[in-house]
Structure 1
Amino acid sequence: MKVEDFSSSNQPNPVHFVAESRYLKTQPFTHPEDQIFTGKAWEDWLEGIEIEFRNFRITDPIDKKDAMIIYGGKEIARLDKSLPNQVADEEQPALDDYMKLRNK
């Protein structure tokens, strides 16, 4: 994005480029073969992605949910589709959706 600011003089101010990128390094969640270890694997995966959320200052619940679906892999996307479409709390519908997926 190129931003130019022309003040009252005819000379343009310096040009500033604004760029933002959020490339998380989180690997897709892999379901362990032994289901006994699924809970621990999920907690470890969540801890890693939430550290990245803080690092990249991702605070919006919708962005967090989308990142979980994108970076979580097919298993997380499938879980998201299986969540019921209930009317969430009017004040925090996005946070409720994120927490439902997180806790699933």
Structure 2
Amino acid sequence: MSIERIQTKARMSRITKHNGTIYLCGQVCKDANQGMTEQTMSMLDKVDRLLIEAGSDRNHILSATIYIKDMQSFAEMNAVWDTWVPEGYAPARACVEAKMARAELLVEISVIAAEII
């Protein structure tokens, strides 16, 4: 049972693969000066790119945990999420309110996906 780590630095790997399962580290937006809609779109674009690099795609997401700074933005984040997730492929998902690593961050996601065989 080998473990493959991709884009590894001292603190973490952006992608870890084990036994056909792909784990992505937490993803945030590219520009934290934007609002919830833009931050969510940017964050999910990063997820798309990492999944492709790892040999998967959004149709193969098993689980997603979304961390949101303020639940008052829940509907705005979900509006983006609902258009991003392919119909019939919604993963198991949790969404929790959390204190973010930087004050300007509004949303972060952690994803587990299956590798495309």
Q: TM-score range by the shorter chain?
A: 0.3 to 0.5
- With a CA cutoff of 8 Å and minimum separation of 6, indicate the structure with the bigger relative contact order: 2
Choose 1 or 2 for highest CA Rg.
1
Give the alignment's TM-score, normalised by structure 1: 0.37
Q: Select the structure that is richer in strand.
A: 2
User: What TM-score, normalized to structure 2?
Assistant: 0.34
